[in-house]
Amino acid sequence: MEPVNYTAISEFLLLGLTEDLALQPLIFSLFLSMYLVTVLGNLLIILAVSSDSRLHTPMYAFLCSLSFNDICLSTSTVPKMLGNLQTQDPSITYTGCLCQMFFVLVFAYLENFLLAVMAYDRYVAICHPLRYTVIMLPHFCVLLVLVSVSISTVDALLHTLMVLRLSFCTDLGIPHFFCELAQVVKLACSDTSVDNVLIYVATCIFGGVPLSGIIFSYVHIVSSVLRMPSAEGKHKAFSTCGSHLSVVALFYGTGAGLYMSSAFTDSPRNSAVASVMYTVVPQMLNPFIYSLRNRDLNEALRSLIGRITSFL
């Protein structure tokens, strides 16, 4: 049996989306713009909801949680990538890589749960409108978010601790713009069968269960809406769900695209490009989707921007 060249590693190399130096300034500008739009857009959503008492409802509270999570998810990946592009240094410390991987997992899983919680909120509002204020009490809404955070954190911590037990060889280049769990596991020289099984099981449970909850909620929502006698009531019910459905389609659609890219291509770089559509693009577009399709939120945003411009 040939000896394996293990090493006590101190850093990984994030190889990014391309090694073409001519394209890197363009990529830097593109991702910087996307990150700034993500932070500004989601921050405006949070400020608009906080400043308008009419929007102090469970639906908008969950929207604020989703916006904050989108900021955190983008912040856990994009700034490090921008720093590496600016300095032309692709390295990330071993500890930094594990920390980044942990936070990406936390916020990615939390996005799933928050979308499911928001679907449940719409289900109660449309299917059980008379009991909505009784069911969606403030402490119950807080409990839903806290449970989602706790499950996401525990699962991410479990994956991170499993990576800690792995041994790595001298090939430490990650063909990605952040420390993605699957790519880090592929670099290990020791047995990764348990890690791979854990990734598969966790994806099925913590991705599949929220998605099943969303589908279940909207099956009942559509059934209830179709039984409404008035066309105006149907339109109002569908309009309250339109933004959330668009966000769900964007998030899970890009996630499915990432999975298909990983399953049907052997190119890690193609997988890295596909992951941009999952970890960066939805977080940037979510504020636009909600502000364009929600009249109350749109009015609150206009009022907030008007106050900001008058103050300046």
| E strand spans, 85-236 | 91-93, 173-174
Q: Is the pLDDT of residue 236 over 90?
A: no
Please indicate, yes or no, if residue 11 is contained in any of the structural domains.
Answer: no
Please indicate, yes or no, if residue 1 is contained in any of the structural domains.
Answer: no
Looking at residue 227, what is its pLDDT? 81
Q: Residue 8: which pLDDT band, with cuts at 50, 70 and 90?
A: low
The CA–CA distances, whole Å, from 24 to 18, 36, 89, 200, 272 equal: 8, 18, 12, 34, 15
Looking at residue 270, what is its pLDDT? 65
What CA–CA distance (Å, rounded) separates 234 from 231?
5
Please indicate, yes or no, if residue 10 is contained in any of the structural domains.
Answer: no
Residue type, 27: I
Looking at residue 254, what is its pLDDT? 72
Domain that holds residue 97: 16-311
Please indicate, yes or no, if residue 5 is contained in any of the structural domains.
Answer: no
Looking at residue 4, what is its pLDDT? 46
Please indicate, yes or no, if residue 142 is contained in any of the structural domains.
Answer: yes
What's the mean per-residue pLDDT of the chain?
Answer: 85
Q: How many folded domains does the chain comprise?
A: 1
Domain of 160, CATH number, reads 1.20.1070.10
Q: Is the pLDDT of residue 163 over 80?
A: yes
Contact yes or no for 240/125 (Cβ under 8 A):
yes
Q: How many CB atoms lie within 10 A of CB 129?
A: 11
**For the chain, what percent of residues have pLDDT higher than 90?**
40
- Strand, helix or coil for residue 173: strand
Who has greater pLDDT, 217 or 293? 217
Q: Residue 312: which pLDDT band, with cuts at 50, 70 and 90?
A: low
What is the token pair recorded at 246? 């668009």
User: Is the pTM higher than 0.95?
Assistant: no
Please indicate, yes or no, if residue 3 is contained in any of the structural domains.
Answer: no
Looking at residue 258, what is its pLDDT? 64
Looking at residue 152, what is its pLDDT? 95
What CA–CA distance (Å, rounded) separates 32 from 24?
12
Contact yes or no for 59/125 (Cβ under 8 A):
yes
Please indicate, yes or no, if residue 223 is contained in any of the structural domains.
Answer: yes
**Region label for 88, one of left (φ > 0), alpha (ψ between -120 and 50) or beta (otherwise):** left
Who has greater pLDDT, 181 or 228? 181
What is the token pair recorded at 150? 């706790």
Instruction: Report helix angle 281-293 to 231-264, nearest 10.
Output: 170
What is the token pair recorded at 298? 């749109």
What one-character DSSP code corresponds to residue 168? B
Tens digits of residue pLDDT in 40-80? 999 999 999 998 888 899 999 999 999 999 999 999 999 99
Looking at residue 3, what is its pLDDT? 43
Tens digits of residue pLDDT in 102-123? 999 999 999 999 999 999 999 9
Bridge partner list, 289: none
Looking at residue 107, what is its pLDDT? 95
Tens digits of residue pLDDT in 112-160? 999 999 999 999 998 888 899 999 999 999 999 999 999 999 999 999 9
Tens digits of residue pLDDT in 255-284? 776 666 565 565 666 667 777 777 888 889
